[in-house]
Amino acid sequence: MNRNKQMKNILLKNKLEIIGAIVGAVLGFAYWYKVGCATGTCVITSSPFNSTIYGSVMGGLFFSILKTNKKLKE
């Protein structure tokens, strides 16, 4: 029971980063699908897995910038 509470606290604490990772993953896959790489030599856009993972990481990092620090406000 205590683990569920801990997991819920972690998810609520990092919800902005999680949302950013999901948005980034969708955008990364969409980029691969629409643009992709014709020659197959592009490291990031040559496969949907690479493009989705890269988009997920970048989305999480970008959304973490938007997070405000409560300690700085005080």
Between 4 and 56, whose confidence is greater? 56
Q: Tell me what pLDDT residue 58 has.
A: 96
Mean pLDDT of 1-9: 86
Q: Tell me what pLDDT residue 72 has.
A: 62
How many residues does the structure list for the chain?
74
Of 3, 4, 1, 59, the closest CA to residue 26 belongs to 59
Give the side-chain half-sphere CA count within 13 A for 67.
Answer: 18
What's the whole-model pTM score?
A: 0.81
Q: Tell me what pLDDT residue 46 has.
A: 84
- Distance between CA atoms of residues 29 and 36, nearest Å: 9
